């Protein structure tokens, strides 16, 4: 997810953790809570049904909302009949563009990125239809059933305009250069086409990936109310509470502090739980109805309203010398994007740092389609980009007669091929070595269609996964210390991935406290900080903020401790924390407890707030998480049915902060990658641009029986240039997985499927 999504201006703070200078002392400590498989702190609440999600919160006098959606791709509403809906039982209000409160357009976070999550289109402000599925009416009623029924009675007549709804057709009309995070999606060095033509070994193929929809288990929904003092309070499922509050304040013309967004529990985000029209519509309806409103989108509503991963068509052409060294690497292609949408699928991003190649040409062209905005979806760019490139590497390995792992090792870059920066940490070869040994790669036959067990062809494949390290300026964290423990406040997010647990472990080690003595408060826009759960960077971002606050705390404690303390006069860098107190780093016996310092200063508590440095580390190093993915598949010789029978992910993501929650993150990413490889596909009616399979019955995702035992291992080599030595783990699991499966399918049956998903019909 994007750096481009950051919204609030973050002032350049005094350096508190200087990227790349002294490694965080925690990196050197192996004995604490960090790294341990601590169970999720929110787990018991969820298991007991006591965690209340956004659309489970009941407010007094609350009414229920439902949406009616446009059924054309583009045009104008010429007649909108709401009379039947208004007369239906229990209906409180029908809101359309005619009576909706006048709203500002969603503000532009950064001019080139537009609104980060989707688009900046006006919301129920005019008679224009801009995509098939756009909300045209909000019905508010006494019960959900009444609202749903009444919404079904809203009818519209349209004046349709010609629309580009099919990717292929739109592409034939031309394209324009893409950019991502304010950088052109284009890189070039040398004459790659010429090098390709002259290469000893060559592959040149086109790979296509379909539209994908977000399918978090928790549907998108919120409960909201306008309070007596004019505060708009939103209980939401959000990956960005601070940004959401900021944006809603501008849309409704309110002071920033008049919007409060809370989101303590999120049932899956994956890039989809941003700000979409439904939050704005619910708040507007609540204002008009003068009642609290709950709007929970049904699954179909999520498909109509919440953007997904864009289609791509990618060419990968590789040229190599007789030893398999790349002389040409071409990765170019097209992605679909509605005009108002924020982001093209940046599929070349992982390729920039993947391989040392003589000449390189990378390019993303944008094709404009009239449809629902596309958006971030777990490893946008990397998930589909690695599918194309890592399949092509496998194809080259076969042409060159070199083992695919060996081919990759021969092309390992010693510095970033595009930026020229050194890698902050890259142990991909080690990840391959560990993974290959564990997976039994030596049992793979290089010749496809050579292993059969009964009705099943068996194949093995591998691929490299990668995801960039990001750290967004996450703003401040606040620490309050008492004799009993500490409270850490930061407007961060827990979407089920274990962020709060890992943050608690790290804070406990940092403060020298038991995790039970730490209270980590998050998911509330009134807390300090602007951290966003995206780009696999939240934990690093929280970490940097906590490091900053902790240093401020230590400085404050030294001041309070005065001249009589064993730590008198020490600088923060010379101190460390143990046993609920401070000691000198070079002499642990020179120690004073927090309780003693506070008591002597006659203070019940101290509170500090501090902001970390900007993410300068990203300018000095090429920073990425890496993985080596291994798949074994079985393809039924009679039916073409594909079963993934084994999978192993070998990760190099810096230091792992919680081995239990990290393993789940890796597995979850891999499972999502299995869906990308074999199942997921949003299907459009090409005539109308309407999504035809807006349900889990027809949009297929892996279920338990589709998922084999997934083994995950990691190098656990700390990155010296990140807070806590950790790089991101949230998105990398999906990357490389599609290609590992596709390469295994090829090894099983000898057929290359370059068009996702790999369904059985494509093998027959």
Between 264 and 271, CB nearer to ligand MOS = 271
Q: 236, 208 in Cβ contact below 8 A?
A: no
- Residue 573: name the closest of 561, 564, 586 by CA: 586
- Give the list of residues 6+ apart from residue 136 with CB closer than 8 angstroms, or none: 68, 69, 70, 77, 80, 96, 97, 124, 129, 154, 156
- Residue 565: name the closest of 603, 608, 600 by CA: 600
Nearest distance from residue 687's CB to ligand MOS, in Å? 31
Nearest distance from residue 349's CB to ligand MOS, in Å? 12
* Dihedral pair phi/psi, residue 155, rounded to 5°: -125, 150
Between 661 and 747, CB nearer to ligand MOS = 661
Instruction: Return d(Cα 186, Cα 331) in angstroms, integer.
Output: 10
Distances (CA, A) of 716 to 273, 414, 628, 657, 659: 30, 20, 14, 9, 10
Nearest distance from residue 264's CB to ligand MOS, in Å? 18
3 state DSSP class of 11: coil
DSSP 8-state code for residue 665: H
Distances (CA, A) of 269 to 1, 309, 730: 12, 14, 11
Distances (CA, A) of 227 to 138, 224, 233: 21, 9, 7
The first and second tokens of residue 172, run together, are 């034939």
How many CB atoms sit inside 10 A of residue 764's CB?
8
Q: Beta strand 312-320 with 326-337: parallel, antiparallel or unpaired? A: antiparallel
Between 307 and 319, CB nearer to ligand MOS = 307
Between 154 and 302, CB nearer to ligand MOS = 302
Between 485 and 535, CB nearer to ligand MOS = 535
Nearest distance from residue 498's CB to ligand MOS, in Å? 15
- Give the list of residues 6+ apart from residue 706 with CB closer than 8 angstroms, or none: 643, 644, 674, 678, 679
Between 221 and 292, CB nearer to ligand MOS = 221
Catalytic site residue from 390, 609, 680, 731? 731
Between 38 and 54, CB nearer to ligand MOS = 54
Nearest distance from residue 49's CB to ligand MOS, in Å? 26
Nearest distance from residue 536's CB to ligand MOS, in Å? 6
Nearest distance from residue 182's CB to ligand MOS, in Å? 17
455 catalytic? Reply is: no
Between 565 and 682, CB nearer to ligand MOS = 682
- Residue 123: name the closest of 134, 113, 133, 115 by CA: 134
Terminal alpha carbon distance of the chain: 37
How many CB atoms sit inside 10 A of residue 564's CB?
8
Q: 620, 729 in Cβ contact below 8 A?
A: no
- Residue 247: name the closest of 451, 541, 525, 438 by CA: 525
Q: Which residues pair with 187 in a beta bridge?
A: 362
Nearest distance from residue 380's CB to ligand MOS, in Å? 5
Instruction: Return d(Cα 702, Cα 675) in angstroms, integer.
Output: 5
User: Cα angle at 631 between 628 and 637, to 5 degrees?
Assistant: 155
How many CB atoms sit inside 10 A of residue 594's CB?
27
Nearest distance from residue 240's CB to ligand MOS, in Å? 9
Q: 5, 116 in Cβ contact below 8 A?
A: yes
Nearest distance from residue 453's CB to ligand MOS, in Å? 38
Between 179 and 239, CB nearer to ligand MOS = 239
Distances (CA, A) of 757 to 43, 209, 364, 384: 34, 7, 21, 11
Nearest distance from residue 178's CB to ligand MOS, in Å? 17
Query: How distant is the alpha carbon of residue 682 from its chain centre?
Result: 19
Instruction: Return d(Cα 410, Cα 427) in angstroms, integer.
Output: 14
Between 214 and 690, CB nearer to ligand MOS = 214
Q: Which residue is nearest to ligand MOS (CB)?
A: 271
Between 625 and 747, CB nearer to ligand MOS = 625
Q: Which residues pair with 225 in a beta bridge?
A: 233
Residues in touch with ligand MOS (CB under 6 A): 1, 239, 269-271, 376-378, 380, 534-535
Packed helices 277-289 and 241-252: angle between N→C axes, nearest 10 degrees? 50
Instruction: Return d(Cα 405, Cα 408) in angstroms, integer.
Output: 5
- Residue 303: name the closest of 1, 673, 681 by CA: 681
Active-site positions read 731
């Amino acid at each position: 997810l994007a750096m481009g999504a950051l919204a609030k201006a973050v002032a350049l703070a005094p350096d508190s953790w200087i990227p790349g200078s002294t490694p965080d002392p925690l990196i050197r400590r192996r004995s604490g809570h960090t790294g341990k498989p601590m169970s999720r702190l929110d787990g018991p609440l969820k298991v007991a049904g006591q965690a209340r999600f956004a659309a489970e919160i009941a407010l007094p006098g609350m009414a229920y909302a439902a949406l009616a959606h446009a059924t054309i791709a583009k045009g104008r509403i010429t007649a909108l009949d709401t009379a039947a809906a208004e007369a239906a039982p229990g209906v409180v209000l029908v809101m359309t563009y005619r009576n909706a409160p006048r709203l500002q357009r969603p503000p532009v976070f950064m001019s080139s990125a537009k609104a980060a999550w989707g688009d900046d289109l006006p919301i129920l402000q005019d008679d224009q239809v801009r995509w098939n599925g756009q909300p045209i009416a909000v019905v508010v009623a006494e019960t959900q059933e009444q609202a749903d029924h009444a919404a079904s009675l809203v009818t519209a007549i349209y004046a349709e305009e010609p629309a580009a709804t099919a990717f292929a057709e739109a592409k034939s009309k031309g394209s324009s250069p893409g950019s991502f995070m304010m950088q052109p999606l284009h890189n070039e060095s040398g004459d790659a086409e010429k090098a390709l033509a002259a290469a000893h070994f060559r592959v040149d193929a086109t790979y296509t990936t379909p539209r994908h929809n977000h399918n978090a288990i928790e549907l998108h929904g919120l409960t909201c109310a306008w309070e007596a003092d004019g505060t708009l309070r939103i209980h939401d499922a959000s990956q960005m509470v601070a940004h959401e509050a900021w944006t809603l304040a501008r849309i409704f013309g309110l002071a920033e502090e008049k919007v409060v967004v809370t989101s303590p529990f999120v049932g899956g985000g994956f890039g989809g739980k941003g700000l979409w029209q439904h939050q704005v519509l619910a708040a507007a309806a609540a204002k008009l109805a003068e009642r609290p409103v709950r709007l929970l989108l049904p699954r179909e509503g999520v498909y109509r309203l919440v953007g997904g991963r864009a289609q791509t068509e990618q060419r990968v052409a590789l040229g190599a010398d007789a030893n398999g060294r790349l002389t040409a690497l071409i990765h170019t292609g097209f992605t679909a994007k509605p005009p108002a949408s924020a982001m093209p699928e940046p599929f070349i991003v992982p390729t920039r740092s993947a391989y040392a190649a003589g000449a390189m040409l990378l390019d993303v062209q944008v094709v404009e389609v009239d449809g629902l905005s596309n958006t971030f979806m777990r490893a946008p760019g990397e998930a589909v980009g690695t599918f194309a490139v890592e399949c092509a590497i496998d194809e080259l390995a076969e042409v060159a007669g070199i083992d695919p792992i060996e081919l990759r090792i021969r092309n390992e870059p010693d510095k970033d091929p595009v930026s020229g920066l050194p890698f902050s940490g890259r142990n991909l070869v080690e990840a391959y070595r560990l993974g290959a040994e564990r997976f039994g790669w030596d049992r793979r036959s290089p010749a496809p269609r050579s292993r059969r067990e009964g009705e099943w062809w068996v194949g093995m494949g591998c691929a490299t996964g990668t995801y960039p390290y990001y750290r967004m300026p996450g703003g401040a964290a606040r620490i309050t210390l008492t004799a009993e423990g500490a409270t850490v406040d930061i407007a961060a997010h827990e979407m089920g991935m274990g962020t709060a647990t890992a943050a608690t472990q790290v804070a406990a080690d940092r403060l020298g406290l038991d995790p039970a003595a730490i209270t980590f408060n998050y998911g509330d826009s009134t807390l300090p900080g602007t951290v966003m759960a995206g780009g696999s960077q939240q934990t690093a971002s929280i970490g940097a903020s906590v490091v900053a606050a902790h240093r401020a705390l230590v400085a404050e404690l030294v001041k309070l401790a005065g001249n009589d303390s064993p730590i008198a006069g020490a600088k923060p860098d010379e101190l460390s924390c143990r046993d609920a107190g401070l000691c000198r780093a070079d002499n642990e016996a020179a120690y004073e407890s927090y309780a003693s310092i506070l008591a002597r200063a006659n203070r019940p508590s101290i509170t500090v707030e501090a902001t970390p440095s900007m993410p300068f580390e990203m300018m000095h190093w090429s920073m990425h998480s890496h993985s080596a993915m291994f798949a074994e598949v079985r393809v039924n010789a009679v039916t073409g049915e594909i079963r993934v029978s084994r999978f192993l992910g070998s990760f190099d993501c810096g230091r792992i902060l919680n081995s239990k929650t990290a393993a789940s993150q890796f597995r979850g990413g891999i499972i999502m990658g299995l869906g990308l490889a074999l199942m997921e596909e949003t299907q459009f009616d090409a005539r109308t641009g309407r999504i035809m399979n807006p349900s889990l019955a027809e949009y297929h995702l892996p279920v338990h029986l589709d998922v084999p035992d997934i083994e995950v291992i990691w190098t656990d080599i700390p990155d010296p240039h990140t807070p806590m030595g950790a790089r991101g783990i949230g998105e990398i699991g999906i990357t490389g997985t599609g290609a590992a499966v596709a390469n295994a399918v090829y090894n099983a049956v000898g057929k290359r499927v370059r068009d996702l998903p790999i369904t059985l019909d494509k093998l027959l």
